[in-house]
Amino acid sequence: MTNKLSVGYFVNWGIYDRKFPPSALQVDTLTHILYAFANISPDGSVILSDKWADIEIHYPDDSWDEDQSSNLYGCFKQLYLLKKANRHLKVLLSIGGWSYSPALHPIVVDPHKRATFVETAVTLLEDLGLDGLDVDYEYPQDDEQAQGYVALLCELRLALDAHAQKKGTDYHFALTLFPSGKDYAGSWDSVAGHHSILESGSYDYRALPLPGAVTQIDSDRMPCWSYDPDTKEMITYDNEETAAAKGQWIQDQGLGGAMFWELSGDKCPSQPDRSEMECGPGKDAAPGPSLVQVVADAMGGIFKGTGEESEGWNWL
C-alpha cells in the first residue's frame, strides 16, 4: 500500500471568473485539499475572507426551505459532500497566503493575539467540519516574527491536540507545513529563468503550450519551457515529463508526497474543454494529462485510506 500524499490548494475566488467550483476537483488524484484563504483580524481572530463563497452560496440541490441561519452552504458544504463520497479525502483551512500574510506580522509577536488566533482557528475547524489547519505565512520579516511564528505553531498544535481529545482517541487534527518550490526566478531578475510560476500574468498549465510555441526540456535541470519566436515570449512551467521526474524524485528520496498550487490550473482529460471555465487567449485548454495525476502515478500512487473508514471516522 502506498502512503504518498497528494495535496492541492482550492481557492475560493476561483468560483467567480474562473468558474471552478468544488465539483470540478479531480478528487481521485488528491488526499488533501487546502482551502485558500482565511484572513486575520487586527485582534488576531481568524475569519473567513469571503463568507458568500465560503458558506452562503447555494449550489444545485441545496434547499432554500431549510433554516438558512443554522445550515452550512457554499464551498465548504460542497467539500463536505466530496469528503462523504471519498472517505480518503481531507480538507484543511489555509490561513494567510500572500495577500493576508501582512496581518500576521503584529499577531505572531503578541501572546494575547496569538491566543485569539488559536482559539478562533480551532472554532472554525470545528464549525466547518474540517480536518486540520494550514498556516501560510509569507513571510516573517525579522527574528522576532520568526520566533513568534514558531510559538504560534506550537500553541496551535497544543490546542488541536486538546480539541482532538474531546472527540475521542481516534481523532487527530493536522497542522501542516508544506515546503514550496517556487519563485526561483521572477520579475526582479534581469535574465529570464525557470520557476516564476506565481508571477503576475503567468499562465495556467492547462493552457500550455500556447499556439505557435515550441516546447523544450533542459535534461540537466529538468525544467520545461515554451518559446514563441514571433512574439519572443518564453514561458517556463512543468509538463508531463518534468512532473513525472519530480514524482519519481519524491519516491526516490522517501518524501511524504507533493503539493500543488493551485488546482484550477490543472488539465482535466475527462473534461478537456471544460467550457464553463474562463477562456480566451492564453486561457483556452490545451491537450494533455493532469499534472496531479502524473505526479501521483510517478510517486507510486497515493494513500486512499486503510480500508477501515466509515461514516463516522476516516484517516488523517
Active site members: 138
Q: What single letter denotes the amino acid at residue 270?
A: S
Pairing mode, strands 90-96 and 132-136: parallel
| Secondary structure of residue 163 in the 3-state scheme | helix
Three cell numbers written together for 168:
475521542
Whole-angstrom Cα distance, residue 251 to residue 6?
13
Half-sphere exposure of 151 (CA within 13 A, CB side): 18
Three cell numbers written together for 44:
488576531
Phi (first) and psi of residue 73, to 5 degrees: -130, -155
Nearest C-alpha neighbor of 44 from the set 131, 124, 135, 107? 107
Name the DSSP letter for residue 205.
G
Nearest C-alpha neighbor of 47 from the set 111, 100, 7, 106? 100
| Number of neighbours of residue 24 by Cβ within 10 angstroms | 19
